[in-house]
Structure 1
Amino acid sequence: MTTEKVLFEAIANLIPTLEVAKISEERKETLQPLIDFIQNKAESKQKIRINFICTHNSRRSHLSQVWAQTMATYFNIDNVSCYSGGTESTALFPMVAETLLKTGFEVQTISEGKNPVYTIKYAVNEHPVIGFSKKLDDDFNPKSGFAAVMTCSQADGGCPFIVGAEKRIPITFEDPKAFDNTPQQAEKYNERSVQIATEMCYVFSQITI
Structure 2
Amino acid sequence: MKLFDQLVKTVEHFDFDKIANERKGVLEVLVAYIQSKVDAHQEVNLNFICTHNSRRSQFSQIWAQTAADYYGIEANCFSGGVEVTAFNERAVDSIKRAGFQVSAKGQENPVYYVLYAEDASPMNCLSKLFDDPINNAKEFAAVMTCSHADENCPFIPGTEKRIPVRYDDPKEFDDTLQEADKYDERSMQIANELFYVFSKIVGAK
TM bucket normalised to smaller: over 0.9
Partner Cα separation in structure 1 for residue 10 and residue 137 of structure 2:
34
TM normalised by structure 2 equals 0.96
1:24 corresponds to:
20
Question: What is the alpha-carbon root mean square deviation over aligned residues?
Answer: 0.9
Separation in 1, partners of 2:33, 2:11: 23
| In structure 1, C-alpha distance between the alignment counterparts of 2:174 and 2:164, rounded to whole Å | 25
Amino acid at match of 1:30: V
What are structure 1's unaligned runs of at least 5 residues?
none
Q: Does 1:58 align with 2:54?
A: yes
Shift of 1:47: 1.1
Among 92, 98, 103, the alignment partner of 1:103 is: 98
Q: Equivalents in 2 of 1:11, 1:73: separation in Å?
A: 14
Amino acid at match of 1:204: F
Q: Which position in structure 1 is the counterpart of 2:82?
A: 87
Q: For each residue in 1:140-175, what CA deviation from the matched residue of structure 2 results, as whole angstroms up to 9, or x when unmatched?
A: 113521010000000000012211011110000000
Partner of 2:173: 179
Count of matched residue pairs: 203
Matches within 5 A, 1:147-166: 147-166=141-160
Moved more, 40-49 or 57-66: 40-49
Deviations 1:109-132, CA, capped at 9 Å, x for gaps: 1x2221011100011211111110
Between the aligned residues of both structures, percent identity stands at 48
Residue in 1 that maps onto 2:34: 38
Whole-Å separation in 1 of the counterparts to 2:195 and 2:137: 26
Runs of 4+ in structure 1 off by over 3 angstroms are none
Give the TM-score normalised by the residue count of structure 1: 0.94
Instruction: List gaps (5 residues or longer) in structure 2.
Output: none
Q: What CA distance in whole angstroms lies between the structure 2 residues aligned with 1:143 and 1:71?
A: 19
**Corresponding position: 1:141 with 2:135:** yes
